A and B are shown apart, each in its own frame.
Chain A
Amino acid sequence: MSTLDQRSLLETISLTMRFAGLVAVSNFNLQLQKNELVGLIGPNGAGKTTVFNMLTGVYRPSDGKMILDDKPLNDLKPHNITRLGMARTFQNIRLFKDLSVLDNVRLGHHIHFNYGLLATALQTKHFYKEEASTQEHSLELLKIFDLEKYQDLQAKNLPYGAQRKLEILRALATRPKILLLDEPAAGLNHKETEELMQTIQKLRQDFDLTILLIEHDMKLVMGICERILVLDHGETIAQGKPKEIQSNPIVIKAYLGDGGGEAQT
Chain B
Amino acid sequence: MEEFVQHLINGISLGSIYGLVAIGYTMVYGILKLINFAHGDVYMMSTFFGFYFARWLGFAYTPSVIGALIILFLAMAACALLGFTIERFAYRPLRKMPRLNLLITAIGVSLLLENGGQILFGADPKFFPELIQRAELFRIGDISISNFQVIIIVVSLSFMALLQYIIFHTKTGKAMQAVSFHHENASLMGIDIDRIISFTFVLGSALAAAAGILVGLAYPRIDPLMGVLFGLKAFVAAVLGGIGSVPGAIVGALIMGLSEEMVVGYFSSTYRDALAFFLLIVILLVKPTGLFGKSTSEKV
Let me know if chains A and B touch directly in the complex, using CB atoms closer than 8 Å: yes
- B300 on the interface (CB 8 Å rule)? yes
Contacts of B300 in A (CB 8 A): 49, 53, 58, 90
**CA of A58 to CA of B297 in the docked complex: distance in angstroms?**
11
Smallest distance from the beta carbon of A78 to chain B beta carbons, Å? 10
Q: Mark B262-300, 1 if CB is under 8 A from A, else 0.
A: 000000000000000000000000000000000000001
| A180 → chain B closest CB, angstroms | 12
Min Cβ gap A25→B in Å is: 14
Q: Which residue of A lies closest to B298 (CB)?
A: A58
Q: How far is the CA of A53 from the CA of B299 in the complex (A)?
A: 10
Within the complex, the shortest CB–CB distance from A45 to chain B, in Å, comes to 13
- On chain A, which size bracket covers the interface? under 10
A-B contacts at CB below 8 angstroms, number: 4
Q: Which A residues, 42 to 66, have Cβ-Cβ distances below 8 Å to chain B?
A: 49, 53, 58
Which chain B residues lie closer than 8 Å to A53 at the CB level? 300
Count of chain B residues near A, Cβ 8 A: 1
Q: Could you tell me the distance between the alpha carbons of A53 and B300 in the complex, rounded to whole angstroms? A: 8
Among residues of B, the one whose C-beta sits closest to the C-beta of A50 is: B300
Q: In the complex, what's the smallest C-beta–C-beta distance from A208 to chain B, in angstroms? A: 28
Residues of B within 8 A of A58 (CB): 300
Smallest Cβ-Cβ distance to A94: which chain B residue: B300
- A90–B299 Cα distance when bound, in Å, is 11
**Once bound together, how far apart are the Cα atoms of A31 and B194, in whole Å?**
55
Tell me the bound Cα distance from A33 to B25 in angstroms: 56
In the complex, what distance in Å separates the CA atom of A59 from the CA atom of B15? Answer: 40
Contact with B along A74-89 (1 / 0, CB 8 A): 0000000000000000
CA gap between A259 and B300 in the complex, in Å: 25
Q: How far is A58 from B300 in the complex, measured between Cα atoms in Å? A: 8
Residues in B with CB closer than 8 Å to A90 are 300
* Closest chain A CB from B145 CB (angstroms): 46
List of B residues within 8 angstroms of A49 by Cβ: 300
Report the separation of the CA atoms of residues A53 and B297 in the bound assembly, to the nearest whole angstrom: 13
Q: How far is the CA of A195 from the CA of B300 in the complex (A)?
A: 27
Measured CA separation A211–B300 after assembly (Å): 20
**Chain B 131-170 against A: per-residue CB contact (8 Å), 1 yes, 0 no?**
0000000000000000000000000000000000000000
Shortest Cβ gap from B97 to chain A (Å): 16
How long is the Cα–Cα vector from A53 to B298 in the complex, in angstroms?
12
Query: How close is B300's CB to chain A, nearest CB, in angstroms?
Result: 5
Q: How far is the CB of A151 from chain B (nearest CB, A)?
A: 27
A90 to B300, CA, bound (A): 8
Task: Please report which residues of chain A, range 16-60, place their CB below 8 angstroms from some CB of chain B when the two chains form the complex.
Answer: 49, 53, 58
Question: Which residues, 139 to 170 on A, are CB-close (under 8 Å) to B?
Answer: none
Instruction: With both chains docked as a complex, state the minimum distance between the C-beta of B20 and any C-beta of chain A, in angstroms.
Output: 35
* A6, chain B: closest CB distance, angstroms: 34
Closest chain A CB from B205 CB (angstroms): 37
Of residues 111 through 145 on chain B, the ones whose CB sits less than 8 Å from some CB of chain A are none
Tell me, rounded to whole Å, the shortest Cβ–Cβ distance linking A54 to chain B.
11
CB of B45 to closest CB in A, whole Å: 40
**How far apart sit A49 and B300, CA to CA, in the bound complex (Å)?**
8
Query: How far in angstroms is the closest Cβ of chain A from B298?
Result: 10
A263 to chain B, nearest CB (A): 22
CA distance A49 to B299 in the complex (A): 11
Q: How far is the CB of B173 from chain A (nearest CB, A)?
A: 28
Give min CB distance, A87 to chain B, whole Å. 15
With the chains together, A244 CA to B149 CA distance in Å?
Answer: 79
Question: Measured between C-beta atoms, what is the minimum distance from A116 to chain B in Å?
Answer: 30
B21 to chain A, nearest CB (A): 35
Near B by CB (< 8 A), chain A positions 99-148 give none
Bound-state CA distance A190–B191 (Å) is 41
Bound CA–CA A68/B191 (angstroms): 51
Chain A nearest Cβ from B295, distance in angstroms: 11
Taking the nearest CB of chain B, how far is it from the CB of A100, in angstroms?
A: 21
Q: Closest approach, in angstroms, between the C-beta of B103 and any C-beta of chain A? A: 20
- By a beta-carbon cutoff of 8 Å, the part of chain B in contact with chain A is 300
- Can you list 4 A-B contacts with CB-CB less than 8 angstroms, sorted by A residue number? A49-B300, A53-B300, A58-B300, A90-B300
Of all A-B residue pairs in the complex, the 4 with the closest CB atoms, nearest first, are A58-B300, A53-B300, A90-B300, A49-B300
